[in-house]
Each structure stands twice: as C-alpha cells, then as structure tokens.
Amino acid sequence: MTKIFKERRDMMKLSALGLAGAAAAVGGATLAEKAAAQASSGSLLRTVLSRGRVLVGTGSTNAPWHFENEKGELVGMDIAMARILAKGLFDDESKVEFIRQDPAQRIPNINTGKVDIVIQFMTVNPQRAQLVNFTRPYYVEGVSLLTRPDSEMKGYDALAKAGSKARVSILQNADADKTVQAALPQATIMQLDTQANVIQALDSKRVDAAAVDLSTVQWLAKRQPDRYADAGKKWYSMLYAAALRQNDPDWLRFVNTTFEVAMYGHQNAIYDKALDEYFGIPAPVREPGLPRI
C-alpha cells in the first residue's frame, strides 16, 4: 500500500512540474495568445485570436438590426452582438471588421471562409441548420401590431372587439391572411407589396394597424411615440441567432459562452444598452440562484 501511495505522489510531482514548465513557457504571452495556443489547431478560435480581429458578416440597411447612424457608423442590435463577441475575444469591442453583405450571401460567405461569423438577423430553421451551426438565440422575433397613439383602436383588445371593422395591412405573401387571422380572425386584411407601403397605409389612416415584425414595432414606438404605438399583441415566434461554420466545436462553444455571459451573466453593459436603445426594453433581472439560461 505504501508503495502505491509513493508512486501516486511521484506522479503528482511530475504532473506539477510539467504544468509549471508549460506555464513558464507561455508566461510572457498575452491572454489572447494563451487562449489561441489552447484552441484546436483547426479551430477558427485560434485563427481569430492570432489575427487580432474578428470578421463579422452583416448588413447595413435594416434598422434596428444593422444600419448607419448620422456619422456613417454601423449600429444596431446585430452590431452590438458583434462588439460583445470582440470584447470577449480581445477585451476590446472595436476589434471587429464588418463585412457588409446581401442576406443571400450569409451562408455562402460562412462556408467559403470570407467571414468568421454572420450576425445578420438570421432566422433559425432546420433547413439552414444542415448547412451552418447556429449559436444560442439572442432575440425571439415575431409578428406584432403597429398602431397610432391617437387611434380608438390603439390597443389589441379594441382591434379584436372591432371585428371586421378593424383594418390591418401586411406584406403580401401566401400566408399573409392566415398570419393576421391568427390574432384577429375577423379583421379586414389589406396585402401590400412593400413593408414601407404597409406602414404608409397606417400613416394615411387607410388601416387601423400594420402587422409587421415585433422588432419594427418596438423600434418605431421607441423612436416616434407621438406617431406610433405598440398594440400589445405578439405571436408567431422566430429565433434569431448568429451562424458559423460546422465541425468547429471550440469556436461554437466560445461564441455561445460569450453571448450567455452578456445576456445572463455579469458582462452585460453592451447588451443592456442595445436593448434599451433599439427596442425600449429594460435590462432583464438577473437573479442569482438556479440557472435560467
């Protein structure tokens, strides 16, 4: 028995010496360099850390997700998520290079390596999941009702009570009528060719509500409360997540960890500011105790 204990003690000493030697070898390295050295040699995590910036595919024309401010800078919720990732990688949210792309290029640019990750209001579905890996969702999109604050049908209850007298505009598509009828079964529906015309019909009082994305309702009601209101109804959930290449678990785990710390943990300054600025949503209460992730 004494011999077994001695062998174990000797092995522990050797292990400790090995760890100490490894630590000494990288003692002068930066945190990013240390992390890169530990990542799988084939992982984008190592490549990104070694490069010193992350390449993010995104858009520039869809508020509140990605658009240019008055200074010509890219801003929006997608841009905030990219800066959260850069902060996690380099402790510097500016170390991100945005690759502006058409939505049709989201998956091709991931798979050809033009971008490290796509953060571009990308809806998660099983078909796309066969081609890319999705991160944990960072927003649950849906359909909502945009109304006018001066309308007698400002709220959802009034719209529902009005029956067929409630007029609702929506972007023209095969399921448009069914989408509206899921919330307002008796409403009179007006299908229009562009999202701008859907909202313009509300502006001109040709309709009492516009059925648009929840994020659009939150954005417009936040920015122009004298002109637009949220009727208080949302349905038809769709998950928005970032997308990255398949077969790279180190990269996927790192991005998920970074997003989770920003959304549910203690490094949430960028995330909370974006929620308020783009959606008028207060920061979530993060109560210590049982996990809620």
**Residue 43 in domain:** yes
pLDDT tens-digit series, residues 243-288: 999 999 999 999 999 999 999 999 999 999 999 999 999 988 888 8
31-35, 188-192, 234-238: least confident range? 31-35
Are 37 and 127 found together in one domain?
Answer: yes
Contact between residue 167 and residue 153 where contact means Cβ atoms under 8 Å apart: no
Residue with tokens 């637009």: 228
**Which DSSP string do the residues of 181-209 spell out, in sequence order?**
HTT-TT-EEEEESSHHHHHHHHHTTS-SE
Q: Are residues 44 and 179 in the same domain?
A: no
CATH code: domain of residue 104: 3.40.190.10
Q: What is the pLDDT of residues 250-262, one digit of tens each?
A: 999 999 999 999 9
Phi first, then psi: give them for residue 109, nearest 5 degrees: -70, -30
* 196 and 251, same domain (yes or no): no
Measured CA distances, 71 to 67, 68, 74, 75, 147 (Å): 11, 7, 9, 10, 31
Paired tokens of 93: 């949210």
Summarize pLDDT for 188-215 with one digit per residue, the tens.
Answer: 999 999 999 999 999 999 999 999 999 9
In a domain, 17, yes or no: no
Task: Please give the mean pLDDT across all residues of the chain.
Answer: 89
Euclidean distance between the first and the last CA atom of the chain, given in angstroms as a whole number: 47
Query: Is the same domain home to 200 and 265?
Result: no
User: Can you give the pLDDT at residue 288?
Assistant: 87
pLDDT, tens digit, for every residue of 45-99?
999 999 999 999 999 999 999 999 999 999 999 999 999 999 999 999 999 999 9
Q: What is the pLDDT at residue 287?
A: 86
Q: Residue 58's domain spans which residues?
A: 33-132+245-279
Q: Which residue has the tokens 């944990």?
A: 136
Residues 110 and 252 in one domain: yes
- pTM for the whole thing? 0.83
Question: Is there a domain that residue 289 lies in?
Answer: no
202 and 176 in a common domain: yes
Tokens matching residue 102: 């058409």
Q: Is 130 within 8 Å of 245 (Cβ atoms)?
A: no
